[in-house]
Amino acid sequence: MLDSRVQSPDNDEHADDDFAIFLAMGVDAQGHTGIPYPKLARLAQGLLDTFDGVDLTDLADAGGEAQPDDIPMYVSNPPKRRDFWARIVDPERRRRRMGLKYPLELYAPSRLKQDVEQGTDTIYALSTAPGRAAIAVVRISGPACLEIYRRLCPGKPLPQPRTATLRKLYDPEQDAGDPPRVLDSGALVLFFPEPNTATGEPLVELHLHGGPAIVKSVLEAIPRSLSAGKRGRDAADSVIRPAEAGEFTMRAFYNGRLTLPQVEALGEALTAETEQQRRLAVLGAESGLAQRYEEWRQMLLYARGELEALIDFSEDQHFDESPTELIASTAKQVSDLERLISIHVHNASRGELLRNGISIALLGAPNAGKSSLLNRIVGREAAIVSAEAGTTRDIVDVNIDIDGWLCRIGDMAGLRRGPAASSGTFDREEVGLVEKEGIRRARERALQSDVVLVVIAIEPGSDGVPVLSINQELTEAVHECRTAGKQILFVLTKGDLVGDEALRSHMARLKALLDSEFAHTPDSNMGPGTRVPVFVVSCLEHDLIGSALDPGNIQAFLRGLTSVFQNLTASSTGSSSSLATPRDQSYWSASLSITHRQKTHLEQCLNHLCDFLAQSGSSSSIHSDECDDLIDDDQVDIVTAAEHLRYAASCLAKITGRGEGGDVEDVLGVVFEK
Ligand SMILES: Nc1nc2c(ncn2[C@@H]2O[C@H](COP(=O)(O)OP(=O)(O)OP(=O)(O)O)[C@@H](O)[C@H]2O)c(=O)[nH]1
Ligand SMILES: [Mg+2]
């Protein structure tokens, strides 16, 4: 018996074809594979279908048994993917499923790998910000970087790897008789040998004096280092050129130094402005999300392979499990994965609040002190304040970092309805068209926000007992927000008019009043028994209430606000206790760092998984007789169900930029542009 694993032919007679796929299979002493040829052809096409848009050509149905001579098979329009040649299912399992005597594997020749390898250009760029600074770092990556070093530092030995070494840098192109032209009198030079470098290639870093003229002269000298006739052997064919935007990172990705989610996290780390954004970027860089996606993808491909084998070979091959068991166990796995991904997507939404900022709306009656509160929070006169009711008309949006959380606070028109339909003290005046539009926009903005601050003025009543200024329009708007599940906080302003003592004695009554006024709708975001937080503040600068350290209680209010942010953005473990494998908290907090792009693909993946579960009868409801129906009477259902798994897997491939997925190149373009 011999193993006829076919290797990539060097004297490739099909050299003009894009490349070939090889099926390697075991044969017996007579050279027989024992596989009926049509079955082999179907299997091969099934494998290739996994890669979108690939068709087999030159695969004639020879009839009878497949012979080793029937292979290789040539493929038209293959995707130029490095990992195309990877095995897509466990060959040993597939062999067992098909009842083959020897394993069956899919290969592509190494030429494909070369095709998609990064070009061998050497690239360079100023890696620190342009402008005058103490130090400027220039990075050079690629095969010619040592040759460039030798030309810039003639006669000087190569620095020890990863050891900063002081060197004078010279102009590489000088006439023989001229005195040497020094570009920088003392630069630190570092050499990083491949493969453990930022790009996976040999890399040289020049830490220059940061004067713009020095930087300019070195950047100009680098491409001149390899002028014709002076090239060393290493660099004979090298092109030296400035790096494109993101090109160092792209090389790191192609050389396996960074995963695509890590590349995204790197982009976020560089743009992070708030503490929470920084935290998120660090989580993304460390979380191993790519590995997680890849495991899920492999699991789906594997499940699909099993279903396919079931469809193709159930009639005449022996399987370890009955078809019923196989479908039920696949559906169970998929249903587990679906639950897991759902929690990830939920956490991703929370992470988006950290990344993009928490939207806050100031909702209240006219003159309640909304603009005054905004100005106190941001510490400047961002909005006009006046004693005239209806001062603010348009929405005034202000971005601010509150204790590390990026927030966008919207000050808006006060809510009132006008004399006819109202009874409150604020509603005696006419409401004009402009104000009406402002009120409409305010209600809309509150519904689009993550947190709604309901601002209510508290004033001494005629008998000295504090009263709250609430009108019908406000009550309705708050109910609307609560029904929509918005996070609500009550902020009672003008506490200074009442004073600390009166506030203390009347607080319980005021809270009860708020409860009765606003608690008519189900409190979806608070849960039963939990109350909406209430804060009393004064927007005046004096310490009439609060303390000298916290005049007006504004800091106490902000602390309350950040603890609400903490709850809003904490990673959820969902119903993880019901998952097959329980995970610890760090597993879930990693999913906060999922980017919007990743989340979109995960949502699409979930849709396909749901479609699969619906088609396969769902994990829990599969009974043996139903499965038999599926297989015997309605085989098409299993075929299309298996397709859903393929779509779901390709959504995951788009996230990592690896594996199959037709538009992966487009995905890479989008990520590296950033
Ligand atoms: N005593 C006292 N006066 C306040 C306080 N907050 C606001 N005011 C006053 O209340 C009046 C209205 O304040 P604004 O901040 O303009 O109120 P608003 O809610 O933005 O009003 P509109 O824009 O008309 O909806 C102004 O005269 C403020 O000086 C406070 O905490 N204490
Ligand atoms: Mg205002």
In 3D space, the residue among 232, 234, 235, 227 whose CA is nearest the CA of residue 171 turns out to be 227
pLDDT band at 127 (very low <50, low <70, confident <90, very high): very high
Position 40 scores a pLDDT of 59
Q: Across the chain, what does the average pLDDT equal?
A: 75
Q: Which atom, in ligand 1's list, is nearest to the CA of 414? A: 25
Q: CA–CA separation, 313 vs 35, rounded Å?
A: 11
The alpha carbon of 382 and the centre of ligand 1 are apart by a number of angstroms equal to 14
For atom 26 of ligand 1, which residue has the closest CA?
387
Q: Which atom, in ligand 1's list, is nearest to the CA of 366? A: 25
User: By percentage, how much of the chain surpasses pLDDT 70?
Assistant: 67
CB neighbours of residue 148 within 10 Å:
25
What are the phi and psi torsion angles at 513 (to 5°)? -65, -45
Cα separations (Å) of 589 from 535, 593, 657? 30, 8, 23
Strand, coil or helix: 354: helix
Position 475 scores a pLDDT of 92
Between 379 and 421, the higher pLDDT residue? 379
> Is residue 142 a contact partner of residue 123, using CB atoms and an 8 Å limit?
yes
Q: CA–CA separation, 104 vs 46, rounded Å?
A: 13
Q: Is the Cβ atom of 389 under 6 angstroms away from ligand 1? A: yes
The alpha carbon of 556 and the centre of ligand 2 are apart by a number of angstroms equal to 22
In 3D space, the residue among 444, 522, 456, 528 whose CA is nearest the CA of residue 489 turns out to be 456
In this model, does residue 449 exceed pLDDT 60? Answer: yes
Q: Is the Cβ atom of 249 under 6 angstroms away from ligand 1? A: no
Q: Is the Cβ atom of 79 under 6 angstroms away from ligand 1? A: no
Between 118 and 147, the higher pLDDT residue? 147
Residues 6 or more apart whose CB falls under 8 angstroms from that of 660 comprise: 50, 51, 52, 79, 81, 84, 88, 649, 650, 653
Q: Which atom, in ligand 1's list, is nearest to the CA of 552? A: 31
Cα separations (Å) of 89 from 105, 250, 305, 366? 9, 28, 7, 66
Position 281 scores a pLDDT of 87
In this model, does residue 104 exceed pLDDT 60? Answer: no
Handedness of CA 197, 198, 201, 203 (dihedral sign): negative
pLDDT band at 146 (very low <50, low <70, confident <90, very high): very high
In this model, does residue 188 exceed pLDDT 90? Answer: yes
The alpha carbon of 373 and the centre of ligand 2 are apart by a number of angstroms equal to 9
Residue 464 one-letter amino acid: G
Task: Give 313's Cβ-side CA count (13 Å radius).
Answer: 25
Q: Which residue has the tokens 């695509």?
A: 260
Whats the size of the chain, residue-wise?
674
In this model, does residue 448 exceed pLDDT 90? Answer: yes
The alpha carbon of 540 and the centre of ligand 1 are apart by a number of angstroms equal to 9
Which ligand is closest in space to the CA of residue 370? Answer: 1
For atom 30 of ligand 1, which residue has the closest CA?
494
For atom 2 of ligand 1, which residue has the closest CA?
494
Q: What order of strands is seen across the sheet that includes strand 122-126?
A: 165-170, 182-192, 203-209, 135-141, 122-126, 240-242
Residues 6 or more apart whose CB falls under 8 angstroms from that of 545 comprise: 495, 496, 499, 500, 503, 536, 537, 538, 552, 553
Q: Is the preceding omega at residue 109 within 30 degrees of 0, hence cis? A: no
Q: Is the Cβ atom of 386 under 6 angstroms away from ligand 1? A: yes
The alpha carbon of 382 and the centre of ligand 2 are apart by a number of angstroms equal to 10
Q: Which atom, in ligand 1's list, is nearest to the CA of 538? A: 31
> Is residue 528 a contact partner of residue 485, using CB atoms and an 8 Å limit?
no
The pLDDT of 649-666, averaged and rounded, is 67
Q: Is the Cβ atom of 391 under 6 angstroms away from ligand 1? A: yes
Q: Which residue has the tokens 């003290």?
A: 425
The alpha carbon of 374 and the centre of ligand 1 are apart by a number of angstroms equal to 10
The alpha carbon of 425 and the centre of ligand 2 are apart by a number of angstroms equal to 17
Residues 6 or more apart whose CB falls under 8 angstroms from that of 458 comprise: 466, 467, 468, 469, 492, 493, 494, 495, 497, 498, 503, 510, 536
Residue 609 burial class via C-beta count within 10 angstroms: exposed 0-12, middle 13-18, buried 19 and up: buried
User: By percentage, how much of the chain surpasses pLDDT 90?
Assistant: 28
Q: Is the Cβ atom of 359 under 6 angstroms away from ligand 1? A: no
The pLDDT of 305-334, averaged and rounded, is 70
Residue 3 one-letter amino acid: D
Q: Which atom, in ligand 1's list, is nearest to the CA of 390? A: 24
**Distance, first Cα to last Cα, the chain:** 55
Q: Which residue has the tokens 């890479």?
A: 668
For atom 24 of ligand 1, which residue has the closest CA?
390
Position 286 scores a pLDDT of 77
Q: Which atom, in ligand 1's list, is nearest to the CA of 455? A: 19
Q: Is the Cβ atom of 553 under 6 angstroms away from ligand 1? A: no
Q: CA–CA separation, 663 vs 657, rounded Å?
A: 9
CB neighbours of residue 472 within 10 Å:
16
Structure token pair of residue 77: 């329009």
Q: Is the Cβ atom of 496 under 6 angstroms away from ligand 1? A: yes
Position 663 scores a pLDDT of 42
The alpha carbon of 403 and the centre of ligand 1 are apart by a number of angstroms equal to 25
Which ligand is closest in space to the CA of residue 460? Answer: 1
In this model, does residue 556 exceed pLDDT 50? Answer: yes
Q: ∠ CA 109-115-116 to the nearest 5 degrees?
A: 110
Pick from 231-245, 531-545, 658-672 the range whose average pLDDT is largest. 531-545
pLDDT band at 304 (very low <50, low <70, confident <90, very high): confident
Least confident range from 60-69, 196-205, 517-526: namely 60-69
Position 138 scores a pLDDT of 96
The pLDDT of 326-337, averaged and rounded, is 85
Position 581 scores a pLDDT of 61
Q: Where in 293-404 does DSSP place strands (E)? A: 358-364, 396-402
Q: Is the Cβ atom of 197 under 6 angstroms away from ligand 1? A: no
pLDDT band at 442 (very low <50, low <70, confident <90, very high): very high
Structure token pair of residue 104: 């069956």
Q: Is the Cβ atom of 390 under 6 angstroms away from ligand 1? A: yes
Least confident range from 132-146, 299-313, 577-591: namely 577-591
Q: Is the Cβ atom of 369 under 6 angstroms away from ligand 1? A: yes
pLDDT tens for residues 392-436?
A: 888 999 999 999 989 999 999 999 886 654 444 445 567 788 888
Task: Give 386's Cβ-side CA count (13 Å radius).
Answer: 8
> Is residue 215 a contact partner of residue 140, using CB atoms and an 8 Å limit?
no
Residue 420 burial class via C-beta count within 10 angstroms: exposed 0-12, middle 13-18, buried 19 and up: exposed
Q: Is the Cβ atom of 360 under 6 angstroms away from ligand 1? A: no
Q: Is the preceding omega at residue 103 within 30 degrees of 0, hence cis? A: no
pLDDT band at 50 (very low <50, low <70, confident <90, very high): very low
Which ligand is closest in space to the CA of residue 396? Answer: 2
Q: Is the Cβ atom of 382 under 6 angstroms away from ligand 1? A: no
Between 6 and 47, the higher pLDDT residue? 47
Q: Which atom, in ligand 1's list, is nearest to the CA of 384? A: 16
Q: Is the Cβ atom of 371 under 6 angstroms away from ligand 1? A: yes
Least confident range from 23-32, 301-310, 344-353: namely 23-32
Position 513 scores a pLDDT of 86
